[in-house]
Each structure stands twice: as structure tokens, then as C-alpha cells.
Homo-oligomer: A and B are copies of this chain.
């Protein structure tokens, strides 16, 4: 059946009745959804009604690696975690790296489906087909790194790989993440879903390697792929030296690095304070993900008080934004410390930083006062207040309780026009790109099935300049619909589903991504695709996820952007004067729905489109 890559098995774990059951992975699911996010969205759609309470026992969490994870294909040790998001109410899907994804495959499973709710804090250990439900009483309350070490000791096995939640997830923070090693399935609050199920951690241990269907074909396919990697002008020459934070200077120069809750951009001397030269003074070591030749991950150590000696893997670019530019913090050591703290507490660094920046603007505007903050002086740039607030959010103490469910919910509770300063789409806080100066990014934020999520259809063309699939002007609104559909489908099909590193797509293989995935799939699994069929897998998933969201109550009106981005032009820098007006957005959305073959008035997938994608049953659901 499966000639390679897949284990062919799905492990279904029910926490309510503490049972574990192995199921066959149907071949048609492999063929139509590839793996990772594809499996996640498919099982979520089929098994979790869209109206389900995201923090109730009927929500599920699907952990799925891709068919290349655990094979000799490089850069594939990644995994998608999918469930209904408590932060957005939409599909929640987040990818993570590290060693857990491969270990899950070695343990014998393409996917885990977590169901139900344990009566008491529990962790699950999976080893050689043996699933144990263990008390998490002792680790409940522990931070994520301590949790992992404690469980390794308790299981007397230092080689288990563990995905867990921190206090954030335990306390049902809607911006809580899931941490494995120092990697996060960061966004959309999936850590709170684990917390709501009383599931502190999953420990897996396996052995061996996954077989390959056709080794000769794999050699050829890998050849094309590694050649493209080597030809990249960014990947090895820059990225392997600096990692993602090099993008701080690039985006600042483009005038699209958001500063102080999107009030400013391109107006700062940020590069001097937190740019590449300064970053390099904090780098102590480079890390490689499992079977990755690039090694873009950098360990940094803080060098000044009160943060001296604090180590973190990262911070990645997004965190330089969230605990840096958007909060007005230009102390690199505070950014390093906050990155570590967020990982330890199990909070998404993007959403936490943006929620803090939101509170800072409200504080400076007098909408929040010291009475509200418990005396915290929440000025922009106050890094110690930021650190305190992070802890308060994880423990739901004081004002932390208000902010830990994200900016949208906090704004609703605060009232007084606070929503105007809440930088989110569908409840998901905005990532680092000020989309007023990168309009393809803006359309992606507005339409991604997970909310404002750069990773679901990253518009690399506007950042790195590749004319693929065509030449792009970042200020233009025209043709962004077509572009965004392409980006979302290709990203889903060639990165999120086979769980390949996204940086390959962004910086190395965009021109050959679909064909490359087709070649690798045939070589590794024996399943055959044309490049178009690969791309169609992406389209299928974007439609399926959209159908879930429609049933969850989302309408065209939700495909939007924060008011500020549509009404306040950028004040300075290389994108000065730019904004995405409501008319711009309408034009882009119309083009996008058109390109997607969706109803332009409602933004709902048409019956025809769904049929074309083999989703007849979904069409019935929507009818």
C-alpha cells in the first residue's frame, strides 16, 4: 500500500476514557492531503463540528508530521498541530520543528488524534506502540523546559521527545502555545486546547528510519532541490549566518517593520540597536534542525543586566518585532530574555508581544491607567514592565488576566474604543509586516484560514523580490488576489502538508516547489502527482478550512484588516503615505474570491469549486 514515507497508522487517544487505538491511514487521505496540515484540517473538518466549544472536550488536537519526516529528505522534521482555535474560533493550525515530529514517525504514527478531556492533569507516554496515561500532578505548574526534564527523569529515558504546555496553557490563555524542546507550535492558542483537556504533555520514543519507495528517483529529486538551495542568494550566504533576524533590517529599510503598536514604521534607528551587527554580538552557537544542512537557528545569550546570561534559541525575526519594535523595546537583551520567558511560560511570542503593545498604547492614551495595570508603568519601551506583564498573562494575574486572551477579547472587555488599537484579524494578532507597505501580505492576513498569519501564504515576492509566479509591486493592489491564492495554495501544498521548512519555499525553490514536491512524493511514497495536482492539494485544504470557518460563522466581513491600517497612512520611512483603504481591500478581496472561484459577494466556496476539488460532501454541508 504505502511504499515509503508513511507509517500508514494514526493513533487515536481518548483522554476521557483513557484509551488508545491504532487506525489505518486511508490511502486516499494520503493522496489527497499529503500530511501535516492536510491531515490536520481533514480530520478536524470531518470530526469536529464547526460550532464546537474550542475549549470543550469535543474539540480535538491533531498532531501530524509529513511523509518526508524521518526519511533522508532534508528539512522535513516538522509537524502540524490542528484544532479549533480558542483565540479565533476558526481553524487553528500551527507548525513546529525540533525532533518531536520525526520521533512521532519513528514511534510508528503519521498522526495523533487527541480527543476528550482527562479528569485530572495527565501526560501521555508513547513508546513502541505502548501508550500510557500518567499523572501530571507533579509537573502541573512547571514551566516548559523544566517539564521536559522532569518527564525524562520520571520515565528514566533521556531520549524521549516531549511536546508540552506551560502555565499559559494550563491557565487556558487563548494565546498559549505548545512547546517541544525550545520549539513552539506557537499561534492560535492550541496550548489552551491541551490545557482544557488536562493534557500537560505528550512524550514519544521510537526508533529506526522510514523506508523510501525509490532510492534512485529520490537521488534525482533531492539533486534538483539541493541545487536550488545552493543557488539561493540568501539561504546559505546570509540566512545560515544570521537566521531570520536579518529581516529586521530589511523590513525596517522597506518601512514595513511595525513600531509601537503600528503607530510608526521606518522612522527609527532600530537597526543600530537590534540590527544584524548587534545580534551577532549575542550569538553563541548555531543549531540545525534534524537533517537540515542550513542551520539558520542561532542561540543567543544576553549580556547586560538584569538579563545577563539568559540564553535563548532565537529570538527569531517575529520576536524581534513582538518583544522589540512593536512594544518600542530596543534593548536586545530584554528581547532575548522575553523570548526565553515566553517559551518557558508557553505563550505565543507574537500574540503576547502585540497584546502588550496594545496595552501600552492604551496606557499612553489614558484608556488604561495605573489602577488598571496594578501600578505597572506600561510605557512603550519599558522592558521590565513587559517581562512582568508576560508573567501576569501566563498566570492570569491582575491585568494579565485581561490580556491573555488576546487583543480582540481584551478590547471587547475594555470598551472605550480600545478595539481601534487592537491589531488582529479574526482575533489573531498581526505578525511583523506592516501590510500598508506590502499589500499582498495584507490580503493574505485578511484571508488566511487561521487569521492574520504570515505563514499561511507568505508573500515572499514582496520581500525577497523573486518574480515567481510573476513580477510584483508591493505597493500595488492589483493582481494580489491571484498572487495570494497562489501563495496560499503552494505554501500549503509544498510546506505545510509535506512539513517541509518554509524557508526553502521563500528563498530557494519557489519556481520548482510544486514539481519538486511531486518528485519527492513519488520517490519517497510511490504516490504520483503532477505539479498541478500538488498545487491542487493546497487549494483543496484552503477550501476545506474555509468551509469549516464558514460553518463557524465567519463571513466576508471578517476577511478584513485592523481599522488603523485602513485609515492611517504610514508616517515615515520607505513606505511613507501607504495604506490599504477599504476600497483597496475590497478590490483585492474581489480579485481573490474570483481567483479562488468563490462567490465574490459572500466569499463562500462555490459548489462547483468544491466538486472540482473532490469535496462534494463539503458542498452539501454548506448548502
Q: Using CB atoms and an 8 Å cutoff, list the residues of chain A in contact with chain B.
A: 138-143, 146, 150, 152-153, 158-159, 166-167, 284-285, 287, 299, 301, 305-306, 308-311, 344-345, 388, 391-392, 394-395, 397
Contact = CB atoms under 8 A, between A and B. Distances in A.
Contact of A142 (B141, B150, B301, B391): B301
Given A158-B158, A309-B394, A395-B309, A285 B138 contact: yes
Contacts of A308: 167, 391, 394-395, 397
A309 B287 CA distance: 28
Contacts of A139: 284-285
B143 A305 contact: no
Given A158-B158, A305-B392, A391-B306, A142 B311 contact: yes
A135 to B, nearest CB: 11
29 contacts: A138-B285, A138-B299, A139-B285, A141-B284, A141-B301, A142-B301, A142-B309, A142-B311, A143-B309, A143-B310, A143-B311, A146-B311, A150-B299, A152-B158, A153-B287, A158-B159, A159-B159, A167-B308, A305-B388, A305-B391, A305-B392, A305-B395, A306-B388, A306-B391, A308-B391, A308-B394, A308-B395, A309-B394, A309-B395
Nearest to A161: B158
Given A138-B284, A138-B299, A167-B309, 9 more contacts: A138-B285, A139-B285, A142-B301, A143-B311, A146-B311, A150-B285, A305-B391, A305-B395, A306-B388
A397 B305 CA distance: 9
Contacts of A166: 309
A309 B159 contact: no
A382 to B, nearest CB: 15
A518 to B, nearest CB: 33
A23 to B, nearest CB: 31
B309 A345 contact: yes
A25 B309 CA distance: 40
Nearest to A167: B309
Contacts of A158: 152, 158-159
A287 B142 CA distance: 15
Contacts of A167: 308-309
Nearest to A394: B309
A394 B310 CA distance: 13
A285 B306 CA distance: 30
Nearest to A340: B146
Given A158-B158, A158-B159, A285-B150, A309 B141 contact: yes
Contacts of A305: 388, 391-392, 395, 397
Contacts of A394: 308-309
Contacts of A392: 305
Contacts of A345: 309
Nearest to A159: B158
A398 to B, nearest CB: 9
A425 B301 CA distance: 37
A344 B344 CA distance: 15
A159 B158 CA distance: 6
A142 B313 CA distance: 12
Contacts of A311: 142-143, 146
A395 B167 CA distance: 30
A179 to B, nearest CB: 14
Contacts of A159: 158-159
A362 to B, nearest CB: 22
A310 B344 CA distance: 10
A314 to B, nearest CB: 14
A284 B391 contact: no
Contacts of A146: 311
Looking at A138, A146, A159, A287, the one whose CB has the most chain B CB atoms below 10 A away is: A146
A549 to B, nearest CB: 35
B284 A142 contact: yes
A191 to B, nearest CB: 15
A473 to B, nearest CB: 43
A146 B300 CA distance: 12
Contacts of A284: 138-142
A217 to B, nearest CB: 30
A255 to B, nearest CB: 36
A152 B149 CA distance: 13
A139 to B, nearest CB: 8
A344 B394 CA distance: 23
A82 to B, nearest CB: 28
A397 B307 CA distance: 13
A150 B285 CA distance: 10
A152 B158 CA distance: 10
A309 B138 contact: no
Closest 5 A-B residue pairs measured CB to CB?
A: A158-B158, A138-B285, A146-B311, A158-B159, A141-B301
B391 A309 contact: yes
A492 to B, nearest CB: 31
Interface-centre pick from A166, A311, A394 (highest chain B CB count, 10 A):
A311
